[in-house]
Homo-oligomer: A and B are copies of this chain.
Amino acid sequence: MSAASPLLPPCLEGLRVVEISAFVAAPLGGMTLAQMGADVIRIDPLQGGLDYRRWPVTADNESLFWRGLNKGKRSVAIDTSTAEGRELCQRIIAAPGPDAGFFVTNLPARGWMSYDALRAARPDLVQLTLQGDRHGGSAVDYTVNPRVGLPYLTGAGSADEVVNHVLPAWDLVAGHLLAIGLLGAERQRTRTGRGQEVRLALEDVALAMISHLGFVAEAQLGAPRQRHGNELFGAFGRDFVCADGVRIMLVALTLKQWRALCEAMQLGSAMSELGRGLGLDLDREGDRFQAREAIAEWVADWVGRRSFAQASQALQQHGVCWSRYQSLQQLVASDPECSPANPLFSSIDQSGIGRTLAAGLPLNFGAGPRLEARLAPALGQHTEAVALEVAGLSSAEFGRLVDRGIVRQAKA
């Protein structure tokens, strides 16, 4: 492939995925596929799903959350409390075609939405079902996190204090796992003709990740993790404050990072002496962790005697691994990485909201175009198009459903 090879279309172009979902994980999974070029159709109740007013909202109660997690999808509004509405949903989900027949949901997949009911209409259906816990019980990110121990390890408080996370990290991981599961099942269906249901429990996602990272085995072996405040576990890293009050994070996880830090601060001989005094080899990450308080005294002194401008110049020059703490306001006001200068972002203008940044897919596929972030649909914006093109309704049939209030077609 030469540099002159023409760009390919986005890698999932042509794939059609139907989503009945709410909140973070399933909408994010669907949006990730949409940002890779798939035609993702989200079906919602006539007045919007459970997440349609999720905060943050504007003064007019328009959800920035919903707009952020449904970019580039098509929106269909159907009253599924009616038999005709449910039948239309089934026809959309089970529509024919080798690149169709993919369904993602995090709502209770019972009755007409169960895999058994839906595969009656399309035997090779691939259905991704996200549950709270694996037994079908209710669980959300903010109830899963307390169960797996992290609130006792976060922050610098006393042993029995708990600190919840603000980022719904388990939802984010689960959403990406749904996309992985769909692509894996799609590959298998292409090769074997067989569809399947793929189940995922949010609680299992959290349990798997803390196990993969070693937290579970560590606790089982009887060496429970302690709370370490802002310190990086197992190596050297912490926050420090410059003379002008700017706060920075410094990390020396690898030997190269440690040497860069020592060089930038001219601490080489002091650290050798410190290590000898403590009987530790500070070139070893674990020894740095054991000596972290003594190391931090030297580092705090160096940082505290320099302005941010002075400190950052030296850190940058020596290739230290560091960053500046920024509030979200600082981030959007002055960080070029959070602006259209970063091709991840587009500046978009949304009715009822105004102009804001919107992020596209962080993955950058070399063979295709970098897709700009697209607007989220208006609720029900694509009801007619999908009913006609995908479900095969006639205009007259669609008009009757509109008249009876079973579907809603919105303006763009």
Contact = CB atoms under 8 A, between A and B. Distances in A.
Interface stretch (A40-48, A224-232, A303-311, A394-402): A224-232
A282 to B, nearest CB: 14
Nearest to A159: B327
Given A172-B209, A188-B8, A196-B365, A216 B165 contact: no
Contacts of A344: 134, 204, 207-208
Contacts of A211: 68, 345, 357-359
| A interface majority secondary structure | mixed
- As for how many copies of this chain the complex holds, the number is 2
A187 B12 contact: yes
Size range of the chain A interface in the assembly: 35 or more
A157 to B, nearest CB: 8
A288 to B, nearest CB: 10
Nearest to A186: B187
A164 B217 contact: no
A330 B208 CA distance: 17
Contacts of A157: 155
A138 interface: yes
Interface in A130-149: 133-134, 138-140, 142-144, 146-149
A150 to B, nearest CB: 6
26 contacts: A36-B180, A54-B285, A55-B285, A56-B215, A56-B225, A64-B221, A134-B337, A140-B253, A143-B322, A146-B239, A149-B326, A152-B325, A155-B157, A162-B247, A164-B230, A165-B165, A177-B362, A180-B180, A183-B187, A198-B365, A198-B366, A199-B366, A208-B361, A215-B328, A216-B356, A217-B357
